[in-house]
Amino acid sequence: MAQYSRIEVASVMKQSGMVPLFYHPDIALGKEVLKACYDGGARLMEFTARGDFAFEVFSELNKYAIKELPGMIMGVGSITDAAAASLFMQMGANFIVTPSLREDIAIVCNRRKVLWSPGCGSLTEINKAEELGCEIVKLFPGDIYGPGFVKGIKGPQPWTSVMPTGGVSTDEANLKAWFDSGVTCVGMGSKLISKDILKNKDFSGLESLVRETLEKIKNLRG
């Protein structure tokens, strides 16, 4: 069962401004990554469930977070159907992120008051997601649409909360463009938790990068 309600998760997303994304089949390495992000100030982690037996890895990482990292909110991304969403929620996922808008996922998440963030690429999809109770819409792939798309959406719909994923980096100019456009938070995967960091097991470097990126976001928001 989720430890945090959808309102609590949405609040932390808005407050921190960043959701790290990560997947690796090695549980021990995953714990190191999780702790580095936590020590760097991150309080959210989207585990992108893309590999075989990913549910087993997430289960162990979530147990670790609950026991060792108080306040760390674990969620799952790359979910494509309601059955997968239900499976991960049974393992304690606090939020569900999807690459596309699916009503079946909305229904099972709403039933448990778990935040779900669907990938949307048009105003019509965004409106439909919000009609289904979505708190924060995922803009995916972010690099295809860009900050200008967000700015265009926020004009007629200032109440819409957007989280771009893809095309977001730790570079200050990149972050400034996104937050100036009005995003609520950003999802950041390989630009934050890079292959080099994982290969070299540079967890102290990751901790520093997370801290610096969160500080940049804080300063950009004023």
pTM over 0.95? The answer is: yes
Domain that residue 184 falls in? 6-213
pLDDT higher than 90, residue 114: yes
- CATH code where residue 64 lies: 3.20.20.70
> pLDDT tier at 102 (50, 70, 90 boundaries)?
very high
The answer to the question of residue 24 being in a domain is yes
Q: Looking at residues 189-216, what average pLDDT do you find? A: 97
What's the token pair of residue 208?
A: 């520093």
Q: Cα(162)–Cα(43) distance, rounded to whole angstroms?
A: 18
The answer to the question of residue 91 being in a domain is yes
Give the per-residue pLDDT at 48.
97
pLDDT higher than 90, residue 192: yes
Q: How far is CA 2 from CA 48, 93, 181, 217, in A?
A: 17, 6, 32, 27
28: part of which helix (H) or strand (E)?
Answer: helix 27-39
Q: Looking at residues 183-207, what average pLDDT do you find? A: 97
In Å, how far from its chain's centre is CA 165? 8
pLDDT higher than 90, residue 36: yes
Give the per-residue pLDDT at 7.
96
The answer to the question of residue 22 being in a domain is yes
Helix locations, 182-202, DSSP H:
195-200
The answer to the question of residue 59 being in a domain is yes
Give the per-residue pLDDT at 190.
95
Give the per-residue pLDDT at 222.
86
The answer to the question of residue 31 being in a domain is yes
For residue 201, what are the contacts with CB-CB under 8 A and spacing of at least 6?
A: 29, 32
pLDDT higher than 90, residue 14: yes
The answer to the question of residue 219 being in a domain is no
Average pLDDT score over the chain: 97
98: part of which helix (H) or strand (E)?
Answer: strand 95-98
The answer to the question of residue 98 being in a domain is yes
Q: What's the domain count of the chain?
A: 1
75: part of which helix (H) or strand (E)?
Answer: strand 73-77
Q: Looking at residues 3-30, what average pLDDT do you find? A: 97
Q: Looking at residues 117-143, what average pLDDT do you find? A: 96
CB under 8 A, 24+ apart: contacts of 119-125: 119/165, 121/145, 123/153, 123/157, 125/101
The answer to the question of residue 218 being in a domain is no
Give the per-residue pLDDT at 19.
98
Backbone angles phi, psi at 189, to 5 degrees: -105, -100
